[in-house]
Amino acid sequence: MNWIDLEQVTLRYTLSGSGPVQLVLIHELGGSLESFDALMPRLERDFRVLRYDQRGAGWSEKPRKPFTIADHARDLRQLLDALGLAGPFCLAGVAAGAAIAVVHALNDPAAVYGLALCSPALTVAEDRVRYLVDRSERAMREGMAAIVDASLARSFPSVVRRDPAAYAAYRARFLASDPVGYAYANMALADVRLDGQLRALDLPCLVLAGTHDLLRPPEAVRALSAQLPRAIYAEIDSGHIMPVQAPEAMATHLRHFFASVTRDALMRA
């Protein structure tokens, strides 16, 4: 693992894989780069993979002031520049990570081959905003133990806890999250309203829904995909945290989709 200083924050990251295509994986709210551990053996032959901990998460720096999805997208741009990585890239974001991917792609579409939006959290309904704010306040007031089980009951329901060790490890990482960084990440998500910008995203998009996703159910994800000009919709046997709950299915979809979009882009070049 490595750390790098950016303009406003220090991020932890790792680069691995020997494939010819550059792939950036962007984790979910409450996650870290370890969320993608089970994907790596399935991706590293085909991709050069960048994973990183977002500001406030994992082992990256924990700022003590609120941040936004735009800040996350700026961090990603600066991380790529600081590492000397030139696009185009394939981007795959999970849940709130999908919002970061979309903002990055809207800011610099020429640097993106395509996006995989997995259980995408691209807009937040008003009733959900109150829940996120309440959860933020409780995490800061009482710590992560006060919210872990209620949160994972929805993002990691029992039907997808097929691997007890994977669930236990995920829960432990969630508990070890910094409560303030987690709270700020919740508040950043509460402000996300990207649905009005999706028709401007003229890039190939794979939109993946989880059959058992209680937070972004398939019917909502399908409706969202209809707003994207070049979207392919698919559903897999997963809940909200696909790279942990259904790594084989997620990796298969990523490999096939990104192989297609990069091949098409190179043929047009």
How does pLDDT run across 199-241, given as a tens digit for each residue? Answer: 999 999 999 999 999 999 999 999 999 999 999 999 999 999 9
Look at residue 162 and tell me if it is in a domain.
no
pLDDT band at residue 269, thresholds of 50, 70 and 90? low
**The pLDDT of residue 3 is above 80:** yes
Q: What is the pLDDT of residues 93-137, one digit of tens each?
A: 999 999 999 999 999 999 999 999 999 999 999 889 999 999 999
Look at residue 35 and tell me if it is in a domain.
yes
pLDDT for res 240: 99
Look at residue 201 and tell me if it is in a domain.
yes
Report the candidate in 21, 27, 96 with the shortest Cα–Cα distance to residue 13. Answer: 27
- Name every residue whose Cβ is closer than 8 Å to that of residue 39 and which is 6 or more positions away in sequence: 25, 243, 247, 250, 251, 254
Residues 230 and 194: their CA atoms lie apart, in Å, by 16
**Total count of domains within the chain:** 1
**The pLDDT of residue 266 is above 80:** no
Task: Taking residues 52-73, report their average pLDDT.
Answer: 98
Look at residue 129 and tell me if it is in a domain.
no
Task: Taking residues 16-40, report their average pLDDT.
Answer: 98
pLDDT for res 109: 97
**The pLDDT of residue 179 is above 80:** yes
The CATH number given to whatever domain includes residue 64 is 3.40.50.1820
Look at residue 9 and tell me if it is in a domain.
yes
The number of residues in the chain equals 269
Task: Taking residues 76-87, report their average pLDDT.
Answer: 97
Containing structural domain, residue 63: 2-123+193-268
pLDDT for res 72: 99
Look at residue 83 and tell me if it is in a domain.
yes
Q: How many CB atoms are located within 10 Å of the residue 84 CB? A: 6
pLDDT for res 87: 87
Residues 91 and 51: their CA atoms lie apart, in Å, by 11
Look at residue 167 and tell me if it is in a domain.
no
Look at residue 19 and tell me if it is in a domain.
yes
Report the chain's mean pLDDT, rounded to a whole number.
97
Share of the chain above pLDDT 90, in %: 96
- Name every residue whose Cβ is closer than 8 Å to that of residue 264 and which is 6 or more positions away in sequence: 204
Question: Beta strands of 109-263 (E only): which ranges?
Answer: 112-118, 205-210, 231-236
